[in-house]
């Protein structure tokens, strides 16, 4: 199997992890607070690590990580049904990883996929347990039908946070600059926190979070990445500021202003990194 074929299989796995993350987070947020919701969020974090490992391997092979979201199973009407869907999604992943482990003959990659497979088999057992647990405990969908200007504001925030998580991860994988990589990882983690805060605020307010993303910048030159990241952070900081002025709820106002402060900080960090990148470019000798 040649390099391009391996990259294609790994991107298929990566897309599956992406879909699983969003499916599991959607289910966890919809359940509200509780032990099972926390356990499902923990599983989603493990899927994030898998996505990270796969993307890094793809880049090591000189490939480009896919930003597509794989198949999701979102037809369940009750929490127990959601857990059945999660069981089925894990079965899909287990079958695919087993196929790819057989197909790929590179030992290091095969070993990495086997490591991920062991997690997926554990997740499969967890979700089987959650099916019965949801039935016994009478777990409920805590989302509400509220749709107004407030829920629109929160969903716009969720869309932004999801978009920049993907954007910063893509930039993290594609930039060769180690310092930029470190900051991109920190910013992506912080934006993921924001997404969770906004989703929880939506649930508490009687709405239903919509986890969808907008266009993701896929620049491959570090300076272009940073310019795009500065622009999106400045735009959303201004939007959070406008929204906070219009919201009367003091707790939600504080949340939006807190996130706005983080976004301003991110833009400043990216601006500093861009200056450093431009200085390095200016003083790096051109090859003869």
Residue range 164-175: mean pLDDT, rounded: 98
| pLDDT confidence band for 194 (50 / 70 / 90) | very high
Q: Which domains does the chain have, with CATH numbers?
A: 3-137 (1.20.1260.10), 149-283 (1.20.1260.10)
Q: What is the pLDDT at residue 284?
A: 67
pLDDT per residue as tens digits for the range 29-38: 999 989 999 9
Checking if the pLDDT of 282 tops 90, the result is no
Number of residues assigned to the chain: 288
Measure the CA–CA gap between 37 and 208, rounded to whole angstroms. 16
Max alpha carbon distance in the chain (Å)? 72
Q: For 130-146, what is the mean pLDDT?
A: 96
Name the average pLDDT for the chain: 96
Distance of CA 135 to the CA centre of its chain: 29
User: How confident is residue 78, by pLDDT bands cut at 50, 70 and 90?
Assistant: very high
**Quick one: pLDDT at residue 175?**
98
pLDDT bucket at 237, cuts 50 / 70 / 90: very high
**What confidence tens digit (pLDDT) does each residue in 149-161 have?**
999 999 999 999 9
Nearest Cα residue to 123 out of 23, 8, 6: 23
Buried b (16+ CB within 10 A) or exposed e, 148-165: eebbebbbbbbbbbbbbb
Whether residue 48 is predicted with pLDDT greater than 80 in this model: the reply is yes
Asked whether residue 166 carries a pLDDT value surpassing 80, the answer given is yes
φ, ψ of residue 71 to 5 degrees: the values are -60, 140
């Amino acid at each position: 199997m040649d390099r391009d074929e391996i990259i294609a299989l790994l991107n298929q796995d990566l897309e599956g992890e992406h879909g699983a993350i969003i499916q599991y987070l959607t289910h966890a947020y919809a359940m509200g607070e509780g032990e099972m919701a926390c356990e499902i969020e923990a599983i989603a974090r493990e899927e994030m690590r898998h996505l990270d490992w796969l993307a890094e391997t793809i880049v090591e092979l000189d490939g480009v990580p896919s930003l597509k979201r794989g198949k999701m199973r979102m037809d369940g009407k009750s929490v127990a049904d959601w857990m059945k869907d999660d069981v089925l999604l894990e079965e899909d992943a287990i079958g695919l990883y087993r196929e790819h482990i057989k197909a790929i003959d590179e030992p290091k990659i095969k070993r990495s996929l086997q490591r991920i497979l062991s997690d997926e088999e554990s997740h499969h057992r967890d979700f089987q347990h959650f099916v019965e647990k949801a039935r016994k405990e009478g777990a409920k969908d805590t989302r509400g039908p509220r749709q107004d200007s407030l829920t629109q504001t929160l969903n716009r925030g969720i869309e932004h946070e999801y978009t920049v998580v993907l954007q910063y991860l893509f930039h993290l994988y594609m930039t060769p600059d180690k310092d930029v990589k470190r900051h991109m990882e920190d910013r992506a983690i912080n934006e993921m926190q924001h997404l969770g805060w906004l989703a929880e605020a939506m649930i508490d307010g009687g709405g239903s979070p919509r986890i969808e993303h907008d266009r993701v910048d896929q620049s491959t030159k570090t300076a272009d990445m940073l310019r795009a990241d500065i622009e999106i952070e400045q735009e959303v900081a201004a939007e959070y500021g406008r929204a906070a002025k219009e919201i009367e709820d003091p707790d939600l106002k504080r949340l939006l202003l807190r996130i706005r402060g983080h976004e301003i900080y991110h833009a400043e960090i990216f601006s500093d990194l861009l200056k450093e990148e431009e200085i390095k470019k200016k003083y790096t000798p051109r090859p003869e």
